[in-house]
């Protein structure tokens, strides 16, 4: 039996399901290996633009819109070029799971110029959480293969109004539950820096496409780091805005929809265009005039007590050195939050995801989910939610309120908080999301008490969490956080650093990001391939 929940918990569940977990789309060609084009397109067919490959590769989304207006290139030409790049690169990346080339070409040709900031620019949207009517909508669940969306979400409607032309959907893990992009339905997304490694998750397909300069901006969502983790592991910029300020998002933590890019000015313009006007008062819209007067705290300590790599620590220390060279005050100080307790609460809140997944599966198949058809964690959350006592609602709300209070006080002294985005470089695709000893236990989780179920879920997730323990705090607190690609390891893999600010201070992060970009601190794949 599914326990009834109060209004607070209901909204938490909706927030979790709206993006972290349960909305999306797919075009499936084969079960374990998804490709939108079976054979790579010869390079001669790629270079078909009136601008050079280098111009396209280096152009921001704003640059491309201006080129269209200046008559240097047309929107249909850009769409053709981007889709040709997908067909060339996707057999190696497995980043794009659906392609709508014909529809996109018609939309590009028919789009009037009404002053949109991204007029005619091709974009890839995440297959999860951002519904597009008529396109696939499987949530990454194998039993929902072939399901399509019956409506377009408000978020997608808004991004279209900004002038973007949607050319396809990107890869993600089942329900967006893991920090790596791989699933039974779509297979693994391969890191463009080294295909033996994963892109990160859950917005992994998008960042892989972005890192390879297929398009200048890709969308995603973030309930525990899903925009920032792949940004760190694939070397792009990832912003998780303040909770509830983006159109379509709930005001209760922890899920937000936004985007990844390689240009801060693009993210600023996109942020301005995607604001929910009903919640605009939550934002401090005027950018700070002098960031140097704000002390920055930094930490390299894992909030859950796990190991942080020397590379991640070095990335933060290099950032501290740069900031001090620019006149900033940077102080070593950990956030005042019990990380282990935070994650136990976070996992407790996640159990309704399993119940919702089962409901959708049953609606389509007439049967409850089967262990063999879903991930071990989807199964575990479904079973644990059956035993979740209603009395936990008040405790969860209390814990979340405490985190909010602690971080609000912390930011009064330290407006910005710097950490590694991830504790190490990208995981290998051969590395399982959950260790085998735990998958066996998760299969039999229904036999345990609820308390032991949540403990097992924590233990099973720890293998992945240890790689990315820094991102979840911003989701629980509702604060904005920005991952910047500032470091490349000796092995040639990128790492990001993360800045977190008080709720509503998104502009502070964007201004800081602009400083890093202007001073040449950001490291992208394009730059390394050109060397």
Which of the residues are catalytic? Answer: 126, 202, 226
Q: Which residue has the tokens 């999306």?
A: 24
Longest Cα–Cα distance in the chain: 66
Preceding omega of 202 cis (within 30 degrees of 0): yes
* Residue 93 structure tokens: 């990346």
| Phi then psi dihedrals of residue 124, to 5 deg | -110, 135
* Residue 499 structure tokens: 């800045």
CB 226 within 8 A of CB 522: no
- Exposure of 237 in the CB half-sphere (CA atoms within 13 A): 25
The Cα–Cα gap between 451 and 456 comes to 9
Cα 109 to the chain's mean position, in Å?
Answer: 30
Q: Each residue of 432-461: b (16+ CB within 10 Å) or e?
A: bbbeeebbebbeebeebebeebbebbbbbb
Identify the DSSP state of 480: -
Kindly state the helix (H) or strand (E) to which residue 380 belongs, with its residue range: helix 376-386
* Residue 151 structure tokens: 């409506």
* Residue 206 structure tokens: 């998008």
* Residue 232 structure tokens: 């760190």
* Residue 509 structure tokens: 């992060």
Burial class (CB in 10 A: 0-12, 13-18, 19+), 339: buried
* Residue 388 structure tokens: 């979740």
| Phi then psi dihedrals of residue 383, to 5 deg | -70, -40
* Residue 162 structure tokens: 């900004």
Q: Which residue has the tokens 């927030």?
A: 15
The Cα–Cα gap between 306 and 462 comes to 9
Burial class (CB in 10 A: 0-12, 13-18, 19+), 154: middle
The Cα–Cα gap between 519 and 48 comes to 33
* Residue 186 structure tokens: 């779509």
The Cα–Cα gap between 52 and 195 comes to 26
Identify the DSSP state of 373: G
Q: What angle do CA 315, 217, 488 make, to 5 degrees?
A: 20
Q: Which residue has the tokens 């992945």?
A: 464
First vs last C-alpha separation in the chain: 60
């Amino acid at each position: 039996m599914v326990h009834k929940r109060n209004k607070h918990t209901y909204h938490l569940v909706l927030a979790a399901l709206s993006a972290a977990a349960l909305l999306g789309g797919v075009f499936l060609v084969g079960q374990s290996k998804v490709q939108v084009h079976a054979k790579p397109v010869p390079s001669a067919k790629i270079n078909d633009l009136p601008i050079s490959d280098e111009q396209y590769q280096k152009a921001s989304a704003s640059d491309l819109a201006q080129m269209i207006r200046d008559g240097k290139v047309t929107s249909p030409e850009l769409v053709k070029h981007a889709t040709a790049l997908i067909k060339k690169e996707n057999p190696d990346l497995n980043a794009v799971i659906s392609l709508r080339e014909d529809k996109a070409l018609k939309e590009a040709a028919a789009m009037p110029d009404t002053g949109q900031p991204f007029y005619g620019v091709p974009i890839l949207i995440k297959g999860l959480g951002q519904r597009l009517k008529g396109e696939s909508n499987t949530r990454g669940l194998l039993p929902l293969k072939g399901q399509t969306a019956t409506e377009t979400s408000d978020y997608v409607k808004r991004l279209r109004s900004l002038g973007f032309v949607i050319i396809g959907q990107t890869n993600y893990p089942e329900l967006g539950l893991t920090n790596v992009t791989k699933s039974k339905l779509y297979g693994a997304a391969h890191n463009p820096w080294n295909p033996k490694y994963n892109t990160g998750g859950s917005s992994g397909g998008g960042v892989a496409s972005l890192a390879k300069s297929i398009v200048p901006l890709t969308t995603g969502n973030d309930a525990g780091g899903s925009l920032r983790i792949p940004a760190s592991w694939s070397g792009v910029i990832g912003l998780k805005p303040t909770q509830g300020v983006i159109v379509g998002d709930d005001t209760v933590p922890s899920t937000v929809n936004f985007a990844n890019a390689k240009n801060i000015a693009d993210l600023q313009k996109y942020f301005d265009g995607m604001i929910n006007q009903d919640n605009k008062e939550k934002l401090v819209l005027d950018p700070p005039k002098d960031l140097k007067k704000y002390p920055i705290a930094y930490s390299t300590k894992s909030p859950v007590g796990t190991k942080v790599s020397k590379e991640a620590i070095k990335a933060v220390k290099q950032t501290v050195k740069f900031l001090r060279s620019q006149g900033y005050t940077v102080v070593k100080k950990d956030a005042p939050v019990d990380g282990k307790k935070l994650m136990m609460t976070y996992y407790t809140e996640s159990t309704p995801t399993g119940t919702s997944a089962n409901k959708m599966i049953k609606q389509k198949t007439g049967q409850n989910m089967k262990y063999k058809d879903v991930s071990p964690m989807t199964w575990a959350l479904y079973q644990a939610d059956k035993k979740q006592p209603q009395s936990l609602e008040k405790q969860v709300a209390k814990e979340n309120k405490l985190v909010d209070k602690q971080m609000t006080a912390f930011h009064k002294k330290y407006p910005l908080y710097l950490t590694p985005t991830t504790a190490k470089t990208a995981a290998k695709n051969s590395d399982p999301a959950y260790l085998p000893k735990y998958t066996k236990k998760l299969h039999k989780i229904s036999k345990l008490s609820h308390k032991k179920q949540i403990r097992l879920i924590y233990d099973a997730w720890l293998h992945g969490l240890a790689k990315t323990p820094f991102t979840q705090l911003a989701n629980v607190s509702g604060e904005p956080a920005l991952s910047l690609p500032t470091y490349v390891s000796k092995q040639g893999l990128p790492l990001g650093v993360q800045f977190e600010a008080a709720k509503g201070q998104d502009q502070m992060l964007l201004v800081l990001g602009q400083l890093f970009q202007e001073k040449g601190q950001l490291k992208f794949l394009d730059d390394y391939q050109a060397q």
